[in-house]
Structure 1
Amino acid sequence: MGSKDETCFAISIIIIIIGLIFIAIVRVIYVVYRTSKPLRPKSPKPLSTLIVLGSGGHTAEMINVLSALQKDRFMPRFYVAAATDNMSLQKARVLEDLLADTNGGKVVSAKFMQIYRSREVGQSYITSIGTTLIAIAHALWLMIKIRPKVILCNGPGTCIPLCVIAFLFKVVGIRWSSVFYVESIARVKRLSLSGLLLYKLCIADQFYVQWPQLQRKYPRAIYVGCLM
C-alpha cells in the first residue's frame, strides 16, 4: 500500500513539474511575441528610465541619444556605469547640470549608480565566474530598487545582466521594462556581442542600428541613420 502511495505521489510531482514547465514556456513565448510588437504608449505619465553608460565611445553616443529625447517624458533618470568607469558618470552629471540650466535652474530627479563588471579586460575566465555571479546579484538588486519602465543601452557589456533580469521580470510578471538598444556607430557590418545576444534572444523591445547594411542583415532591427 505504501509503495502505491509513493508512486501516486511521484506521478503527482511529475505532473506538477511538467505543468509548471509548460506554463513557463507559454509565458516566455508570450513575452517574446509581445516584445516583437510595436510599442504603444499607454499613459502620458513620465517613465522612470534606466540609462546604461559605457567606457570608450558608448557614453558619447548615449549622450547624443539623450539629447533627442523628450526629457519630461523620460524621468526620473537613473544612470548606471561600471564600477571602474567614473568618467561616464561624470559626463552624465554634466549633462544633467546643463539640462537644469536650460530649464531655468529646475533640477530633474537623476541618480548615478555603479555596477560590478562581469569581467575586466585581461581577467582570466576562471576568476570571471565569481565576478559574473557578483555582477548578476548586483544587477538584480539594482533592478529591484529602480524598477524602471524604460531601459536605454548601446553596447557596454554591463547592460547584459540588467536586460536579462528585465526580461525575466516580464516572464514572471514582476515588471514590464521596455528595453531600447541602439547599436554603436562603430558596428558597420556586424553586431557587437551585447547587441547580438539581445537581438538573438529577443530581449530588446526596440533594436536600432546606424548602418543600412546592418538592418538588411538583421531584419528585426530598425535603421535610424547616424546619431553622432
Structure 2
Amino acid sequence: MIVLGSGGHTAEMIRIVNYLSFENYSPRIYVYADTDSMSIEKVKYLEKNNIDYKIIKIRRSREVHQSYYTSIYNTIYATLESVPHLWRECPELLLCNGPGTCVPLCIIVFLFKVFCITQSTIIFVESFCRVKTLSLTGKILYYIADYQIMQWPYLQKPNNENDKIFYI
C-alpha cells in the first residue's frame, strides 16, 4: 500500500515507486486524499501498462494551513474511515513519505500489529526537503514506523543507536 500526498509528496513517492519491481510488489494499492486530484493522474500515468493496482480515496487528516486543533476531528474521521480499507486489503507493506494522510493509516496498521491482526511493515521516507528537522508526520511516525529513511543523518535523535533508521 502506497500513500500519496499532494504536490511534492506525490512526486517523491512516484520517484520511489519507479524503482520498485512491480512483479515483487503486486498488487499495488495507492491511497490518496479526497481533496487531491493530481495524484490520481500521476498514478494512472505510472501504471499505464499495468492492471494490477488499485486506487483508494480517504479523507485528508489535515488541510494545508489548517490549525492543529481543528485537524483533530478530520484525523479521527480519517482514521475510522481507514479501518475497513486496511482490514479488507491487509497490506504487507505500508509505504509513506510524509503527508498527513498517512498518519491515520499508520496508526491503524500499528494497532493491527499490536493485536496480531496483521504483520504489515511500515516504512516512512522523510521528505527530501526536510534538512534541519523532522516533519510533524516524521515526529509522530518516529515511534510507530518499522523503518524510517532520511536524507540527512543529523535528523536522527541522539543516543538512539538501535533505531531502524536508514540514510540515503
TM-score by length of 1: 0.67
> What is the alpha-carbon distance in structure 1 between the residues aligned to residue 51 and residue 62 of structure 2?
33
Q: Is the 8 A contact 1:118 1:128 kept in 2?
A: yes
The answer to whether structure 1 residue 166 and structure 2 residue 109 are counterparts is yes
Q: Which runs of 4+ in 1 moved over 6 A?
A: none
Q: Is the 8 A contact 2:31 2:57 kept in 1?
A: yes
> What is the alpha-carbon distance in structure 1 between the residues aligned to residue 154 and residue 67 of structure 2?
35
The answer to whether structure 1 residue 59 and structure 2 residue 4 are counterparts is no
Amino acid at match of 2:52: S
Amino acid at match of 1:59: T
Larger Rg: 1
Inter-CA distance 153–96: structure 2 relative to 1 (3 Å threshold): same
User: How far has the Cα of 1:86 moved from its partner?
Assistant: 1.1
User: How far has the Cα of 1:126 moved from its partner?
Assistant: 5.8
The answer to whether structure 1 residue 210 and structure 2 residue 159 are counterparts is no
* Larger relative helix fraction: 1
Q: Is the 8 A contact 2:133 2:155 kept in 1?
A: yes
Secondary structure, counterpart of 1:79 in structure 2:
strand
Give RMSD over aligned pairs: 1.8
Inter-CA distance 184–127: structure 2 relative to 1 (3 Å threshold): closer
Secondary structure, counterpart of 1:80 in structure 2:
strand
> What is the alpha-carbon distance in structure 1 between the residues aligned to residue 148 and residue 91 of structure 2?
18
User: How far has the Cα of 1:120 moved from its partner?
Assistant: 2.3
The answer to whether structure 1 residue 151 and structure 2 residue 94 are counterparts is yes
Inter-CA distance 131–212: structure 2 relative to 1 (3 Å threshold): closer
Inter-CA distance 86–211: structure 2 relative to 1 (3 Å threshold): same
TM-score by length of 2: 0.90
> What is the alpha-carbon distance in structure 1 between the residues aligned to residue 155 and residue 68 of structure 2?
30
- Across the two proteins, how many residue pairs are aligned to each other? 165
> What is the alpha-carbon distance in structure 2 between the residues aligned to residue 213 and residue 124 of structure 1?
28
Secondary structure, counterpart of 1:65 in structure 2:
helix
User: How far has the Cα of 1:132 moved from its partner?
Assistant: 2.6
1:89 maps to which of 40, 60, 65: 40
> What is the alpha-carbon distance in structure 1 between the residues aligned to residue 46 and residue 151 of structure 2?
23
Q: What's the counterpart of residue 25 of structure 1?
A: none
> What is the alpha-carbon distance in structure 2 between the residues aligned to residue 65 and residue 122 of structure 1?
27
User: How far has the Cα of 1:109 moved from its partner?
Assistant: 1.1
Return 5+ residue gaps in structure 1 as ranges: 1-49, 101-106
The answer to whether structure 1 residue 112 and structure 2 residue 67 are counterparts is no
Identical-pair percentage: 50
Inter-CA distance 78–211: structure 2 relative to 1 (3 Å threshold): same
Return 5+ residue gaps in structure 2 as ranges: none
